[in-house]
Structure 1
């Protein structure tokens, strides 16, 4: 046994002993046994330390390769070994067969990830050499119902899986058993010394194998990271347990134990020239600990803004160190992180900019490859038909024969019409969405040509695959398709176009991996009949499980990996990224099929198996220790203050501990790059990175900030470089970019909008919100992609239609409205909804989800119609018109003509008023305008002033202007109100009576808007009004005056208006519209959205990618809506200040 701390020289001692004993015993061979991931680097070290001659006597093996060597020597290797992928395939099949017989895992057996969890659990049972009968005994005797059911499910899975595996195959554990049975015949071991290095723990099967080696080999040497027992920390509990098991195995084997070698020199050999790292190793897990007294040079701590900043800092530091130390090579440096998936793309991108070679030391997923995605999607098409998801997942890989433009046109068409797989065989006749005339016909013909191309190309293969009948034949057909139809050739050409050697190597590995998966599928499932659905699931699980491994393209590269994969013998400097809470060390979540509670119960029953979360947490702490003892030159620790979305993140406890151990350590904190006023030579690192910094310096110079002269030299250098000169020109032009839209010419306005302007009020409000958005929507007529779905406007339109028809039906009703009971109203609503759906929107019937949505609409309308019926019944205002149109060739009302100031032109406003109620009083008609909304809306005097809320006042203007032509007598404003169509959820309704709930509903659905300050008119809207109203936003104060519901002076002035004030508002709105029309007529398309506190129209605007509005550009700013006192608003409107001016921000 060789004991020692991390960095004490245990591996070096092994090589020293081998070299010495090679000379002493020329007839002996030597085996170095290491974990699988270390074999390549250990072979390199053998050559370096022992010379080329050593290759004839020294072998570097892992447990797997040693087992295979034994079996190949003595026989037994002819068995068909199932691969890891084969296990996944069989487990997928087994779970599909037994899931209905399970109790605990029945609901999750088909979920993503469970297949791998179940396979790993069975593997663990075999690695622990656990007899299933002992689990069966616990299942029978335990009184814990949950554990009993869980063990029964596990045994059901295990037994069926074990039966399937051993029908034609063996697994790795079986191989170890075979090797153990035959190890006596392995003559090469009898004359070999075996050295086990870099292990921290062993499985039960590995311990049995080591015991056999103790019997067979001449000598067995093991290294363990374990300091002298006195006072050593719990962090070494794993290796201490391993020592105990090894010594017991040696005792059971009856072999002699040489005197252990303890490498106890202080500090450990690796840190003798580095007091800071020596102190970190000795004190980090030692309590009480001592603080480091001197200056800190070999340890750094950095708080980054985010992971991009963190990686860029590392790149700059690597470049600096390589430049300053001529003996240092990239291969001497490594980067570790516990969440490597979060960093790999960032590191490869940033390091490419800094011209730093980096090797990602991890097995990579291959299921994201275009080739794998193509194959998986094609299998789904064979299984399910031409579904949208499978078809376009396949087409968009770029490996199909369909052209990219044709794919886009096809996708638009299918989305617009909701075409399912079964509709692919017949010619499509629906018009192409949002296209008319000849262009629409041309697109439709093109789409049908693409449909025919797809059917002709794929359907013959689909039919053959559906009739294949076995996994072997299905796999053969799939590979034949890939090969004969040029799919593989397209994939190779697609990758070759990147020009990247690394991506080409990855492509080669993907192809090998694909062939391996297909071979495994044939080997494992062979002639077994499988449904295509099962085959598709098996293939998907296998592709997700299959990993690819790349070897370094050059030896001189920075290594990026996990702490468990990086060897420590050649690393000079180490960067540990992401030292954040829950990341390093990794937070241990109790997850998996077997929980800590289950492990505790099994232990009570005498079964010490599986690792609980406490043990795994100790292992994580050991990983921290291992990481800290890897480098011999320097250690750089960094963490991020926020994630890439800006969410704050906490540092790991490691950071606080390191600070306590090193009081003189200065934590560096990231500074915003835009705050670097004098970037100098230190920022010149790598072409792309320097170019990016140059752009920042150009921006500072453009803004008038001082920059160093070297950036002028850099500018001239990049100007002469053909690879950067074009990009530099674009960047220079970009600095002068203003992102402003110049006014259109009069001719362009007429070409876009016509000689005669026809507009709706909502379009005017859209223009006021942002002229450029109006231009894109109504001038350029840009449209969102049409999708066959129910949208909020569709729902709103349906509810409008039903309410309009219901209120129209009320006109012909005999008797008072109070005679309508709830049942009759709901029955009428249901009939109207069903009729409207049948006539206008059959999508509601296309799926269970949309049918549920239709039922939800009915419930909203039940409540809404009941409420508005009650509102009408409680007052004297009578609905006279529903959906009253004022438009060109209107039956009752013409469009509203508005003169455009200073142009001699006019515009015609058109629209449709949801409901017009009338009440006759003293020979006058009082008008109440009702507008239905599907979301909450109220009138705002501020929005009226700034031209953002014009609709109801324009409707009132139209009615009052034309009333005499309708009823031949005078009309006056009564109210302009919004009604929200809703079925409100009443908070705290538990325990309330039905009457109390109904009262709260009426409060929630109260009409909102502006009312005439006339007590008789107010009472005509709510005859039962006593103090306050449940119908309108008004009440009577103590003096009997009409006031707003809130009874605040500002709200009273805003919501309760005299007839004169209604007149002022109408006049102001018409003047505002004139000014808005003038701007529109003059071609204003400015990118100037308004801003009202936090409210901006950009939030839900679909044209943001077109306008590119960015407040960082000097010319881009919001029009700030300034809040003004209500009296000032009235004074300005009385004074004729049309179309309130916003403030540029």
Structure 2
């Protein structure tokens, strides 16, 4: 007999009550309730709760598999062990390895990660649908050669799988068929009363069992979800909502006919005014009309008008905000309406994305929950430990693999030891097993010599821990058994079982029962996997990579079952798998496109096209993509009609990874059915009263309040939250910490003159770079030079190394010319290139360890050679049309220049240090004109606005130093600035140059940047050929009157002197501020550039505009405006004197 009814009509309640009544009246009879495997516990609980005596003497709640083992236990079934999914995967892996050469299509693809699991799944599917290997031959008739070859490959692997397990193992798919062979002998089943509930259809092997039950049982009742208005015997098309239910009725009725079983009239459990939605017209309307034809619209009446709608829609910024909102609503409803936690459920189509957020936020809000998800072992600490050490062995001890292993948590290395070793390995470029076996000798630049002993102690400890495993896994002709034994010895040696047990006890002490249960099972799981590998693959020779793949396959299949830790808890689950009991409120989260409907599983051995071709041949397999979409719709209907009081549908605008996403079509369906329904935007409509319900919400309000305090605008909610936190000693301490952290360094108290003197010394030895850093943000300067924080040294070739080599090569080049009394401008092309190559070869000797450490770095040498040749060519071309000649290279002005000392406020002194890359000189009419050049490998451009604010002082400070030094050499002659330039060492891309003009176009791109004198006579000292237009060698263009244009990088002599005088004052001012102990978190912003852009200390200062922090704004100004401000500053100082 079929018992039908729509979702919420009370079908299960109706049949369970009848079953309990009959079982009490007929204690001699056996009653069997058969449900899907994942529903057995919930069903048992429901029936026990309904039982008057809360006990079941003659009622058994079983799944098909549990029924089989009960019958086998009674009748003596097959004694072969069942091969679970992990074992199947290992067998398939073995068959694939053996048959790889014979697989014409799938040979290569089955080497991909996860491909063996896909083949295992296909074999399980074939067995589930009772298709044997021989039948696959018929699939190729009339098919393309490619499809035929693929099916033959599947047949080869499937046959190999069946041959291997024959006489050794059973599979779960074979169990129902074996059950049918002995079920007739079972007294448990014979003349019993059977109830089948919770199924949406039966697979072919399940139908075999149903057929036997129909033949043997006294009565079989099948509960089917079907609208009472539907005709159960009219199957209709698969697009209809209840197609699956009608097909199940049709197939089961056919089995009844074949077994000559009497078919009783269909009973309906639908009765208007009763059932789940008797007091909820909106949810009743949803159930009666969802996914039906007719497009009916819900209209409120006086009787249904109330302030509490049965359906709510919400829009969140991201999944975290969604789950936070759910937690707030649960807390509110528990507090205001007296709901129990068991009255709530949260479901989604993407449990993997939402599970972690639900765990974190619910735990924070102290909401008891059960995550209905068999947890993958892949994230377990022990599994990660094994995977990391295997990765290390295969990747030959690469940096990433070594420290993945050491940080996995089960190594005997402490975090401090791991940090120490990692710092050394990065700085010394240790890579590969061979380098770990040899004594460490390469000393990092920033390290002390006495620390090398410590590094070698750590190296020896590391080898002692891993070397035995290395040898065991790399054994020639090693078998699966030998490798498994080596891994087992390693796990014992590192005391992993003890460590996992200790973790389990910690979880128990912290009342994290789910993690405790996970860790209580994981050691046994790993040992079982190793045993299974030895049992299945045994003495078969195996490469290390293949052994790793076998372990990976086993871990990917691994799941630990978690039992609900309590009775009163929120269920968090999947719309398809999770069985929900009687719930009052359902939160359906993640109702987004791409999640609802769920995307179809990508890939697989058989493509969707393959399956459609098989369907045309009437070959029944798992549902096609089209069928799957309609089935998903039915599961959506079942989920959305579960709650008795409230249904929340929510979606988010962005994914957890920040990717924009759209709401699902389901939101539109709900809006059409309920036009009065408003979508609540949680950004705009999120009252503080709700946010106070959870720690996440309170933290958000607290941060907003702290931001308001900085603006002197604290909200009433913030003040109330502060009062509430003050009532609890623990929360009050937490509040004090937050308040202190939010304002301590923001008060910009500084460290004071005394401490600054102790940190920096009363004679401040300073560089221009350090002054510029202080001007950018005093706090960064304090961390860098006061506390001496450093980024970790790494043995890698960086842009800075590139710049260093080019600087040294250019210095060598210039000094060679000076030593040999040769003129740069007079060199021939071959002479210039040969000298550049010699310079580079000499310099590379100092960097050979780094440059030749990798193939990529070695390839950098040819690029360096090309760049250096091009650079000296361009510098030579820039000298040829002018009168300037190189005077010195890499000139240091630190110790030699008495005037490089500055007297600061408070009696402190500052001595500037620095090296000037190149100084050129021209003597004309008794005047000495100087040009300085600073080589840059970046894109630094002279910006007078940045100079004015102390952010770019290098060129004017260097120019002032050179002028003073030159004046001492020629005290009776005039020494004047000519130009200060940056030369950018680069290889520009030239396009659309006129034929024959390529070199001129390149030279124009390589012009220096900076500032030179604008007087015509001085401009011609740089480019005597310039009459009009743009120069190819200096950043100047002449207008029609022969004067430098407004856009030229030039300034008159008096402006140049005003700039140098202003720089001198700015240097003193910055030095005085340093020595006063200024440490303000005060980064600048100029356009899209900020001091925070490349700052390594952001995690330290935690500068955050969202919390009220503000940049020091600098407005970009024109050159003439900046020079005018500099002149005025100088005039003002003169007047004050």
Normalised TM-score (structure 1): 0.87
- Say what the alpha-carbon RMSD is for the aligned residues: 4.0
User: In 2, Cα distance between the equivalents of 1:1037 and 1:93?
Assistant: 82
Q: Does residue 368 of structure 1 match 2:379?
A: yes
Name the residue aligned to 1:787: 794
Residues 796-835 of structure 1 aligned to structure 2 (within 5 Å): 796-806=803-813
User: In 1, Cα distance between the equivalents of 2:319 and 2:1131?
Assistant: 52
User: In 1, Cα distance between the equivalents of 2:970 and 2:45?
Assistant: 101
User: In 2, Cα distance between the equivalents of 1:160 and 1:805?
Assistant: 71
The farther-off stretch of 158-167 and 661-670 is 158-167
- Deviation string 1:668-702 (CA, Å, 9 cap, x unpaired) is 332579x96xx56x666579977987897798788
Name the residue aligned to 2:935: 932
Name the residue aligned to 2:61: 60
Residues 570-609 of structure 1 aligned to structure 2 (within 5 Å): 570-588=582-600, 590-603=602-615, 607=619, 609=621
Q: Does residue 404 of structure 1 match 2:415?
A: yes
Cα 1:919/1:93, change in 2 over 3 Å: farther
Equivalent of 1:1038 in 1030, 1037, 1040: 1040
Whether contact under 8 Å (2:1061, 2:1130) holds in the other structure is: no
User: In 1, Cα distance between the equivalents of 2:464 and 2:335?
Assistant: 61
Residues 919-958 of structure 1 aligned to structure 2 (within 5 Å): 919=922, 921-922=924-925, 924-958=927-961
SS at match of 2:1093: helix
Deviation at 1:94, TM superposition (A): 5.0
User: In 2, Cα distance between the equivalents of 1:848 and 1:831?
Assistant: 22
Name the residue aligned to 1:1133: 1126
Q: Does residue 546 of structure 1 match 2:553?
A: no
Cα 1:814/1:170, change in 2 over 3 Å: farther
- Deviation string 1:231-274 (CA, Å, 9 cap, x unpaired) is 99634444445455545555566655433334454578322222
Q: Does residue 343 of structure 1 match 2:354?
A: yes
Name the residue aligned to 1:506: 518
Whether contact under 8 Å (1:81, 1:171) holds in the other structure is: yes
Name the residue aligned to 1:489: 498
The farther-off stretch of 962-971 and 310-319 is 962-971
User: In 2, Cα distance between the equivalents of 1:555 and 1:1136?
Assistant: 78
Name the residue aligned to 1:1070: 1064
User: In 2, Cα distance between the equivalents of 1:136 and 1:277?
Assistant: 52
Deviation at 1:1091, TM superposition (A): 1.3
Equivalent of 2:914 in 911, 915, 926: 911
Deviation at 1:45, TM superposition (A): 2.2
The farther-off stretch of 1061-1070 and 824-833 is 824-833
Equivalent of 2:628 in 616, 625, 628: 616
User: In 2, Cα distance between the equivalents of 1:561 and 1:824?
Assistant: 77
Whether contact under 8 Å (1:312, 1:350) holds in the other structure is: yes
Name the residue aligned to 2:125: 124
Q: Does residue 978 of structure 1 match 2:978?
A: no
Residues 265-284 of structure 1 aligned to structure 2 (within 5 Å): 265-266=271-272, 269-284=275-290
Cα 1:1030/1:691, change in 2 over 3 Å: closer
Deviation at 1:820, TM superposition (A): 5.7
- Deviation string 1:1068-1121 (CA, Å, 9 cap, x unpaired) is 21221121122122222222111113321112101122223344666x542211
User: In 2, Cα distance between the equivalents of 1:974 and 1:94?
Assistant: 81
The farther-off stretch of 1062-1071 and 108-117 is 108-117
User: In 1, Cα distance between the equivalents of 2:191 and 2:696?
Assistant: 57
Residues 649-664 of structure 1 aligned to structure 2 (within 5 Å): 649-664=661-676
Q: Does residue 259 of structure 1 match 2:262?
A: no
The farther-off stretch of 152-161 and 501-510 is 152-161
Name the residue aligned to 2:13: 12
Q: Does residue 888 of structure 1 match 2:882?
A: no
Whether contact under 8 Å (1:1073, 1:1139) holds in the other structure is: no
SS at match of 2:1029: coil
User: In 2, Cα distance between the equivalents of 1:771 and 1:1062?
Assistant: 28
Whether contact under 8 Å (1:975, 1:1009) holds in the other structure is: yes
Name the residue aligned to 1:559: 571
Deviation at 1:897, TM superposition (A): 0.9
Name the residue aligned to 1:842: 849
Residues 374-389 of structure 1 aligned to structure 2 (within 5 Å): 374-380=385-391, 387-389=398-400
User: In 1, Cα distance between the equivalents of 2:841 and 2:248?
Assistant: 73
Q: Does residue 453 of structure 1 match 2:461?
A: yes
Cα 1:1094/1:92, change in 2 over 3 Å: farther
Name the residue aligned to 2:1101: 1107
SS at match of 2:1074: helix
User: In 1, Cα distance between the equivalents of 2:823 and 2:700?
Assistant: 79
- Deviation string 1:1110-1140 (CA, Å, 9 cap, x unpaired) is 44666x5422113345443222111225999
Total equivalences in the alignment? 1110
Whether contact under 8 Å (2:201, 2:245) holds in the other structure is: yes
User: In 1, Cα distance between the equivalents of 2:856 and 2:256?
Assistant: 66
Cα 1:277/1:860, change in 2 over 3 Å: farther
Name the residue aligned to 1:1046: none
Deviation at 1:363, TM superposition (A): 0.8
Whether contact under 8 Å (1:896, 1:909) holds in the other structure is: no
Equivalent of 1:1083 in 1053, 1077, 1087: 1077
Cα 1:154/1:910, change in 2 over 3 Å: farther
User: In 1, Cα distance between the equivalents of 2:809 and 2:716?
Assistant: 67
Residues 354-753 of structure 1 aligned to structure 2 (within 5 Å): 354-380=365-391, 387-420=398-431, 421-431=433-443, 434-436=446-448, 441=450, 443-460=451-468, 462-463=470-471, 469-483=478-492, 486-498=495-507, 499-501=509-511, 502=513, 503-588=515-600, 590-603=602-615, 607=619, 609-643=621-655, 648-671=660-683, 685=693, 703-706=713-716, 714-715=724-725, 717-719=727-729, 723-724=730-731, 726-731=733-738, 733=740, 737=744, 739-753=746-760
Cα 1:99/1:1072, change in 2 over 3 Å: farther
Cα 1:644/1:1030, change in 2 over 3 Å: farther
User: In 1, Cα distance between the equivalents of 2:274 and 2:153?
Assistant: 50
Deviation at 1:538, TM superposition (A): 1.8
- Deviation string 1:943-992 (CA, Å, 9 cap, x unpaired) is 111111111222222333333567896554443333333334567x7xx8
- Deviation string 1:1040-1072 (CA, Å, 9 cap, x unpaired) is 3322xxxxx4x34xx222233222222221221
- Deviation string 1:264-313 (CA, Å, 9 cap, x unpaired) is 54578322222111111222313432221113622222223433333233
Residues 43-58 of structure 1 aligned to structure 2 (within 5 Å): 43-50=44-51, 55-58=56-59
User: In 1, Cα distance between the equivalents of 2:100 and 2:821?
Assistant: 60
Name the residue aligned to 2:784: 777
Deviation at 1:905, TM superposition (A): 5.0
SS at match of 1:271: coil
Deviation at 1:628, TM superposition (A): 0.8
The farther-off stretch of 393-402 and 379-388 is 379-388
- Deviation string 1:759-794 (CA, Å, 9 cap, x unpaired) is 222121111111121122122221111222222212
Name the residue aligned to 1:179: 179
Deviation at 1:996, TM superposition (A): 7.5
Cα 1:192/1:915, change in 2 over 3 Å: farther
Cα 1:661/1:390, change in 2 over 3 Å: same
Structure 1 unpaired stretches of 5+: 1044-1048, 1141-1145
The farther-off stretch of 186-195 and 283-292 is 186-195
Deviation at 1:129, TM superposition (A): 3.6
- Deviation string 1:881-916 (CA, Å, 9 cap, x unpaired) is 333333325xxxx47614235455543322222333
SS at match of 1:660: helix
Name the residue aligned to 1:79: 80
Cα 1:1082/1:818, change in 2 over 3 Å: same
